Structure 1
Amino acid sequence: MVIPNTVEIAVDNTLSSLFDQNMKKRSPLKRWRWVAVTVAFFFVLGAVSILTVPTFAEVLRSLFAKDNPDIGLMRTQELGLVINPHIKVKDKGYTLVINEAVADPTRVTLALQLFDENGKHDRDKLGLGDVNTITIKDDKGNVVGSMYDMGYTSDFYYMVDFFSEPLKTDKITIEGSIGTLGQSNETLIKGNWNFSFDIDMKEANKQNNIEELAGSYTTPHGMTVTLKRLTRMVQGVRFELETELDGAAMARSPGDLWEKQMLSFHFETTGGEEIHSVNPRKWNYMDSLMTSDHKVVGNGKMRWSYTFKYLPEDKPYRFVLDAYSVAEMDGSKISFRPSELTEPQTFKIMNDSLELVRAHLRNRKSTKDHMKLSSHSTEKWIMK
């Protein structure tokens, strides 16, 4: 296991102080500590029974067509979780059709088609937003999501909604409120293409499998990363971990500054082959991340969750922490006279170079009682 000793720091260049033209003033800089860590947790992250994913021959308009492969959706078909809600609503010569829908605690997906009077699917007629909505409600009637079109295919509207937290309900209701067809640059068609149907979640919920994880690592700069759990669901795998900053690290990030964090990591096989990457610092990386979330769970502690389309089930693999960033106040300061900045001026701060290209002063006159000019004005410097 190799831990590089290089530390790269980037400066947040949003400065907001008032400078007087004839006086030097100083302002501390907020800085981001981006630390390359490359730490691998050498653990077997779950080995369970293998689900055989069949090869599908159908090439009809379907969520499972060959040109739209999705291992999560294939699993739902194998387990018999795909339903046909038999939605067919016709008005003003247009027919809205839904023949395929599937849901589990990870996401809800459905194939929606809109046919014109000639029986041709119109891919550009339906727009979702303030006027048209497709909402998801739990078994208590609470709205838990709103669907949107992912695109991908010209054969249907690929409607989907991802849940950052696994959905906990025995039934969901999909409600469509569709009253307008057409784009903003054309004559809109008013009508009624509303629909509603239920999806039973009990069988999908039975497929959930929670695996508790172990392992933690503390970086030289005071962040402890702890693996928590994997939740395997039909259409995805939710990975959870926690980060916690020690007292010294918290002191460098006063107030809520410490909450401004980002993680970079990847999964790989024991042979070093990349499986997925999150926030990598490279191009052409493997990616199947569906949704992510993080929240504060204590002083200096954050809980992170990431839902992937899949993670291996039948063989061991590694979680590798590549890097992380935390916003810090390091006490560095710069000073200059805006009126003397006739050419770019470079400031060296630790391993960073901050270059001021141009600045100009602008008089700002304040007002009194909205109409009367006051007897003074301020000077503000603007960095571009």
Structure 2
Amino acid sequence: MLTKKCRDCGQEKPVSEFWKRKASPDGLALYCKECFGRRNAKSYRKGQAKQGKQTRPYRARPTVPEGMKYCPRCKETKPFGEFGRNRTRSSGLSSYCKPCHNAVIAEYKQRKHGGHRNFLLKLRYGITAEQVEQMKALQGGVCVICLRSAAKHVDHDHMTGLVRHLLCFKCNGALGQFEDDPQRMRDAALYLEGRGPHARRMMIDLGATVLNRANRHLLRSLSKWAQPRPRDHRSRRHYHLRQKYGIDHEDAELLLHLQVGLCAICCDRPAEHVDHDHGTGDVRGMLCTGCNTGMGQLGDDPVALRRAADYVQRRLVREVPDESGGTRLSFTEPDVDPRMVPLDAWEPYRRQDGEFRKAAVAVEEEIESMPWAAIFSGEWDADTGAPTG
């Protein structure tokens, strides 16, 4: 083992006990690490004393075996595996062991930000917990989309990063599944009501908008290429479909063939899941993962889907004057002050709002079906959908 003699203590020590120093012929410091620490501490304390400052007594660096590291918080020497990673350090390890590191970070968050939740709100959304509580009070504590659950999650626009409002867990997740696409949500509402392009295709080919045990034989008559599998080769999925939906693997493949392999709602993603009415058990179609999961999180509710579509387009929540001369939030038709409605009393307002938005969609569909020549000539009003005469 290579050794070197320290100029201060005069002891012969391994070269690992010396810091590196480019100016030395051998590339090592003149003093061992222990003596170098005492010299450095003496010089530092002398300078501090000249400035009238007090310093704590010098503490010698503890001797650490190979593969171990000293934690200055718990004052214990532990294996490298007890320390987290930190690429900014020369050792590649954090200063404190994992339990101490967690405690230090928790203390920092509490001291600087008032707690872990406040730290995350500032980091992700740029708001504080107090502002979240103010938003919750303005909403009356209810999710602005479904009007059924308590508002607990901060929702933001993923394009701009701006905070929108507070939602429940399911509505917040559903927006993500639909990728904040309002047209997909409106198409999903039509799909649930047995309308839209998929329902028309099913009606033309099967004479019904859903598939069940009574009319599944009509689906088989549409495709001559479909041949039933031998009983010995039927898969586990075959029996699962029979038990849960009343169809088998061949029926699912024929339905997928009828949809050209694409989702019955968005029509641009592969259909992977059989969707059914949870009340009647009838199969409505085959959907992609996003549409299937998003509808499930919104409870297969056309009202919530249309409200979610308007919410994404910033047409749902608006500010209106209140009696005190200030402003308040409004997110239903007819208008009602959300601060005055208990959490369990929203159902009547929700039903009325659903009828209003459904009628508004019907007017938009009627306008879209009108000949543009009649609108430009003034025979039809493009806003109301009614004849001008």
The alignment's TM-score, normalised by the length of structure 2, stands at 0.21
The structure with the greater share of residues assigned to helix is 2
TM (norm. structure 1) is 0.21
Higher strand share: 1
Instruction: Compare CA radii of gyration and give the structure with the larger one.
Output: 2
